[in-house]
Amino acid sequence: MVLFWLFHRFTFWSRQGVPHESLIKSAYTRYTRPLHIADRDTYTKLGRVFGISFRLFEGFRPCLMIGEPEYIRKVLVQEFDKFPNHRIFYDGDQISGKSLVALENDEWKCVRKIMTSLFSTGNLKKMKPSIDRCTSSLIEKLRKQIEISSTVDMKKMMGAYSLDVLASTAFGIECLDSDKTNDVATIVSDFFGHHISIKSIILLWFPFLIKHLNLYVFQYEILTYLKSIVQKIFDRSRLLKSQTNSNENQVDSVNKNFVTLLDEAQIKIKDKELDNETKEKFVIDNGVLLVIAGYDTTATTLSLIIYCLAIFPEHQQKIVDELESLYLQLERTELTIEEINSLDYLNAVIHEVQRYFPVVPRIERRAGRDCTLGTIKLLKDSLVAIPSYAINHDPSFFKNPDQFDPTRFLNNNSEQQTIIPDVFLPFAAGPRSCIGKRLAMLEIKICLISLLTHYRFSVSLETKIPLDYHIGQPVSSPKDVKVIVTPRTRLLKQG
């Protein structure tokens, strides 16, 4: 019976005529190569739609990989009701089990709706002064660091900065103590900073074990530590909120933070309001998610941008020229959000790095029921995955995809018209797209503007070309990003 079941699973795609990789080859590539590289190799070999019968991440569940824009649009947007949830990483009672990435259906809709207001245009404007203060602190930390050594691991530096911004904007607490920030950054960096473990592989193969044995896919010790940190921030934020509310004149000037939104909201699941203990779990679990997601994705993106600017100094200079021109035109250096967003070349460089080095190398959705995608049959709980890295390096979608060329994202470039929104997905798309994308982009731009105003970045003997990645992790985060940082002998003309 078991052999028949295995045979039925392993022939699932061949019976439908869907291209797929052999069992042995499939397992080998997953255990020996980073996720994004293995996906790209298979995508190049089998095409834009192929099945996976057995792999490190998928185990015995059939997984469909799609690179066709039509299918991508269906999964993420048009037929979202068929694919409403993520892969199972947590059980609801576990740490982060009530976070947006783990919540499903009605619970997810309720919490998503509440948290969306955190990233409104008005709230982002109130967050900007906090981001500016954290950026000024970063500039000073970098100045002290290069007095010790001009070669700096920008991944570590950007990690501490991202945590500072997160504490300020999401939790309403200004820049954390420097030593504390570095301690937290070091621990959080280890969340994805290693090869995937055998235990994690087994749990991804058999996700029912997560619930029945209360086992964690990710490191329990790190999640426990983060929970304690978020709990302290939560308690401190509540205290600051009560002090702020005592002065009515200050209330409007303070941005809504994540704790306030969920703490004050009426969270109803199936028309039943949650009790205070359950609501607090929602707050803590989503706080842990914000720390993990906010740290790793934003910090890695920032460090990769610096990496590319060091390798391609001509693009670094073009951003500097664009900044200097704007400063002279405005006769000031304090930029509004609208003025920051007007920096076309800066924006193009950011997009090109997101294309060339997508931090999340594949976007996944899980079938909520037996269904079809086009003519392809899918089983309930089957995964549909969009291999972003492979798609971003497909010459059919991007001319000379292995060439770093920000001009492809400029409005006056003819190739701009050929970039299909359904294939360039730095923050995914549809109802489950990244909720913090607007804050992330603002944080990245403010940071880069300040860094390039004060410093120049270049390649060092310790700069790894190509970058070195861990095997099997769902986030493409390089082990380190070391470059030479030197102060500009003359700051940009500042009016």
| Tens of pLDDT, residue by residue, the chain (495 residues) | 656 656 666 788 889 999 987 666 666 666 678 888 989 999 999 999 999 865 544 556 788 999 999 999 999 999 999 999 998 888 888 989 999 999 999 889 988 988 888 888 888 998 999 999 999 999 999 999 999 999 999 998 998 899 889 888 877 776 555 555 666 666 666 666 555 677 777 777 777 778 777 888 887 888 888 888 888 877 776 676 676 665 544 444 445 677 667 666 666 666 666 777 777 888 889 888 888 887 788 999 999 999 999 999 999 999 999 999 999 999 998 999 999 999 999 999 999 999 999 999 999 999 999 999 999 999 998 999 999 999 999 999 999 999 999 999 998 765 555 788 899 999 999 999 999 999 999 999 999 999 999 999 999 999 999 999 877 677 788 989 999 999 997 665 543
What integer pLDDT is reported at residue 365 of this predicted model?
96
Which parts of 170-275 fold into alpha helices (H)? 178-189, 198-205, 208-212, 220-245, 258-264
Q: What is the rounded distance in angstroms from the CA atom of residue 206 to the CA atom of residue 88?
A: 10
CA atoms within 13 A on the CB side of 68: 13
> CA–CA separation, 442 vs 444, rounded Å?
5
Rounded-to-integer distance, Cα 317 and Cα 63, Å: 44
Query: Which residues contribute to the annotated binding site for heme?
Result: 434
Asked if 296 and 288 count as a contact pair (C-beta separation under 8 A), the reply is no
DSSP secondary structure, 173-201, as one string: --S--HHHHHHHHHHHHTSSSSPPPHHHH
359, 477 in Cβ contact below 8 A?
A: yes
Nearest to 162 by CA among 140, 190, 182: 182
pLDDT at position 47 is 96
Q: In terms of Cα–Cα distance, which of 29, 81, 41, 54 is closest to 365?
A: 81
Distance in angstroms (rounded) separating the CA atoms of residues 258 and 30: 37
Q: What is the DSSP letter of 256?
A: P
Report domain extents, the chain: 2-487
Q: Binding site membership: which residues?
A: 434
What number of H helices and E strands is found in the chain?
Answer: 18, 11
Straight-line distance from the first to the last Cα atom of the chain, in angstroms, rounded to the nearest whole number: 78
Class of domain 2-487: mainly alpha
Asked whether 112 and 150 are in contact (CB, 8 A), the reply is no
Strands 455-458 and 383-386: unpaired
- pTM score: 0.89
Residues 127/439, Cβ–Cβ less than 8 Å: yes
Residue 152 near residue 304 (C-beta atoms within 8 A): no
Residue 142: which residues within 8 A CB-CB, separation 6 or more? 152, 157, 451, 454, 455, 485
